[in-house]
Chain A
Amino acid sequence: MADVIASARAAGRTLLTEVESKELLHSAGIPVTRAKLAKKAKQAEEIAEEIGYPVVLKIVSPDIAHKSDVGGVAVGIDSAKALRKAFKEMMDRVQAAAPGARIEGISVQQMATPGTEVIVGATTDPQFGPVMMFGLGGVFVEVLKDVAFRVVPLEPRDARQMVREIRGFPILEGVRGGAAADLGALESLILRVSDFMSQHPEIAELDLNPVFAYPNGALAVDARVVLTEAAS
């Protein structure tokens, strides 16, 4: 865990890659899809064997912020053969779309079953220090800004209230035949992130976006961790 942060610091980066972010969060007991970096197709195959098919491939580059814009995301890869093909094609596509971008490799990730999308995040308030945010994903957060905040550390009642405070809460309870989300799992994920933020003052910001909320459990599918500016 310290390694991830130390190597980013050594490279003068404050923005962790998705692979690094997920490694960090996973070791803190926060449910995230597993992701590992492969430099070569052969290595990608080994990782896929370990994680289990189907997998997702995502380009890893400190110069590329929006991976899907440059063809840097491929989903539903269900065999070693498909993986080798997708790996080569992605490398070619990205190099063509973003010439000169530093490419560290491709991350091989567990492919999560879709669920109700929510966002769980944390940031550092200049007055109050670490704070957390919860909301429904997509337009709910982008357009309606339907989110709830709490100051870290959260108590269980804070997590409970936070989830219920957003206007879109009925969606999590299940509307129009949709399944109800596992609220307990969301609350526990929020509390784990709160603990994580309390224990790591070197983390300035964090987005888990989206987190898939399931009838049983919750899983962060994408993660972005930003370190504080001052190396400590």
Chain B
Amino acid sequence: MSGKNAKIGNAGTIDPARLHRALNPRTVAVVGDKGPNYNWITNLKEFTGKVFSVQLDEKELPGILERGVPNFRSLVDIPEDIDLVICAVPRQVTPFIMKDAVAKGVGGISMFTSGFAETGEEIGVKLQQMIYDTCAENGMPLVGPNCMGIYNRRLGVKFTGAQEQGEGGEVGIVSQSGTHGIAMTIGSQRLGVKVTRAISIGNAVVLNEADYLEYMLNDPDVRVISMYLEGVRNGRKFFEVLKKATRQKPVIIWRGGRSRAGARAVRSHTGSLASDDAIWSALVKQAGAISVDTLEDAIDTIAALVLAPATPKRNLALVAMTGGQSVAITDQFERAGFEVPELSKKSYDILGEFFVTIGGSYRNPFDASSTIGRETDNLAKILEVLANERAIDGGVAFELGSRGFEDGSERMDQMLDLLRKYRDTTGLPVVALMPDGGVMGGDAEILVRARGYVSKAGFPVYPSFQRGAAALGRAAAYWTWRKEVGARPRAVKK
């Protein structure tokens, strides 16, 4: 979706207050929405502000009015101030809409219209330049073009119906692809994580990655930032803002695609080795961002960062339900850089009093199904031991069975209450692992339902030991980095 051959520009004159107004609108004008679905008007069904329509095509009017939205022949005819224009007109009409938007003094524009520099056509490149110039001259914030625009949870501005409207928010998403922006939003919501806002940035002609990142950094309702990027428009600024952002909030970067700029002349050894990939991974590491390769990794990491308490500590208690699983879970967490330490003699003495050691073990990892498979008193005792155990400073990863869940959630609720109590008293992560094909898993459909139930209860849930270990590992690595840079502030050069 990135715009190739476009004049790379960043209208550096955009006023932050005006950008804030555009991204948090109380009035929205949709220009050029069309039937049969009137997607943009429909996406605003839960919008808490006022919607207006601008459409000249007479045959679209009944559909628009039917949806309770007043229509005008031009932006300038609307009797109220407009904070955000959603522009969905054909590309050749955009110059007129831009002109009206400037005359009206709207807050900003989200431009869905495509067919600009990304096509490589001369007319597209020209029109894109016109958009840039108009915005630069007038300090007009513009999202896109060639994008899905903005999602704002609190206000109910959406670019797909499945995005939730409601209070609160934890995650900010910036995506060069509309699809991945939606997928990261929906994937997070499914885990019970509230996405504060998402921005699909398209060709990023006026506002670019660095601007959005900076905005998310300053948004108090965003705790974790997740980005999907293919390239950046202003690499130096992006690097600077990223370094600043990661010192305050975790920033996940999922990078897709490979460099466009292949054909530059290289006359040094260093130049010949400086692949796009090598530079990107160096940059992400250097700036302290979290690198992921897939959508699943991004969402898994969001869950770990939002739903587990922050800690750089890596000594875990691992609780599995069988001997084989206790080996597998240990392999995965050790591979992700965690330690699975032995417990104190005192802990072992207490555990020895009640733990069923025939077909079980409590050395850490725990092989626990015969001890906690049927009732939860023993689970309470185990978690109490772990809460008082000094060797465990990084929390618990727990294989959670869904067997019996089809008959009701009572047992699950009891277990989750105990795990929550452990988490809240110790302030340490609890990660729920509900692997496919686990012997305690029950059938597939129940397993999926049970996972959803556990994540809605506020725990990070993973469908394999490997994914859980990797996600918690990425979170721990980030908090370690934060501690390092925090503990050693930069020396001031004189």
Chain A residues close to B by CB (< 8 Å): 14-15, 119, 121-123, 125-129, 131-133, 141, 145, 147-151, 155-158, 161, 204-207, 209, 224, 226
Contact = CB atoms under 8 A, between A and B. Distances in A.
B286 interface: yes
B220 interface: no
Given A128-B239, A131-B274, A206 B268 contact: yes
A194 B366 CA distance: 50
A126 B4 CA distance: 14
Nearest to B231: A127
Nearest to A208: B270
Given A129-B235, A129-B236, A145-B273, A121 B268 contact: yes
B282 to A, nearest CB: 4
Given A121-B270, A131-B274, A133-B270, A126 B264 contact: yes
B278 interface: yes
B490 interface: yes
B490 A155 contact: yes
Contact of B283 (A148, A151, A224, A226): A151
Interface string B231-257: 110011011000000000000000000
B235 A149 contact: no
A157 B231 CA distance: 26
Contact of A125 (B235, B268, B269, B490): B235
B446 to A, nearest CB: 46
A140 to B, nearest CB: 12
Interface of B: 231-232, 235-236, 238-239, 259, 261, 264, 266-271, 273-274, 278-279, 281-283, 285-286, 484-485, 488, 490-491
Contacts of A148: 282
Contact of A133 (B261, B266, B274): B274
Given A127-B279, A157-B485, 6 more contacts: A123-B266, A125-B235, A149-B274, A149-B279, A151-B279, A207-B270
A126 B278 CA distance: 13
Given A148-B282, A205-B266, A126 B236 contact: no
A192 to B, nearest CB: 14
Nearest 8 pairs between A and B by C-beta?
A: A121-B270, A149-B282, A205-B268, A127-B235, A128-B235, A126-B261, A123-B271, A133-B270
Contacts of A128: 235-236, 238-239, 279, 283
B279 A125 contact: yes
A122 B279 CA distance: 12
Given A131-B279, A149-B279, A205 B271 contact: yes
Contacts of B266: 123, 205
Contacts, number: 81
A23 to B, nearest CB: 18
A56 to B, nearest CB: 21
A127, A129, A147, A226 — most chain B CB neighbours (10 Å) = A127
A151 B239 contact: yes
B279, B282, B484 — most chain A CB neighbours (10 Å) = B282
A128 B285 CA distance: 14
B269 A141 contact: yes
Contacts of B238: 128
A207 B268 contact: yes
Given A127-B232, A128-B235, A149-B279, A133 B286 contact: no
A120 to B, nearest CB: 9
Contacts of B236: 128-129
14 contacts: A119-B269, A123-B268, A123-B270, A125-B274, A126-B264, A128-B236, A131-B282, A149-B274, A151-B239, A151-B286, A157-B485, A157-B488, A205-B268, A205-B270
Q: Is the interface of A mostly helix, strand, loop or mixed?
A: strand
A133 B273 contact: yes
B478 to A, nearest CB: 15
B269 A149 contact: no
A150 B235 CA distance: 14
A39 to B, nearest CB: 26
A149, A150, A158 — most chain B CB neighbours (10 Å) = A149
A155 B243 CA distance: 12
Contacts of A155: 490
A72 B418 CA distance: 78
B490 to A, nearest CB: 7
A128, A206, A209, A226 — most chain B CB neighbours (10 Å) = A128
Nearest to B270: A121
Nearest to A155: B490
Contacts of B485: 157
A37 to B, nearest CB: 21
Contacts of B273: 133, 141, 145, 147
A221 to B, nearest CB: 14
Contacts of A204: 267
Nearest to B268: A205
A204 B265 CA distance: 11
A158 B264 CA distance: 27
A128 B491 CA distance: 24
Nearest to A134: B270
Contacts of A129: 235-236
A127 B235 CA distance: 5
B272 to A, nearest CB: 9
Contacts of B231: 127
B387 to A, nearest CB: 35
A157 B481 CA distance: 11
A44 to B, nearest CB: 29
Contacts of B491: 156
B244 to A, nearest CB: 14
Contacts of A207: 268-270
Nearest to B261: A126
A132 B282 CA distance: 10
A104 to B, nearest CB: 19
A128 B268 CA distance: 18
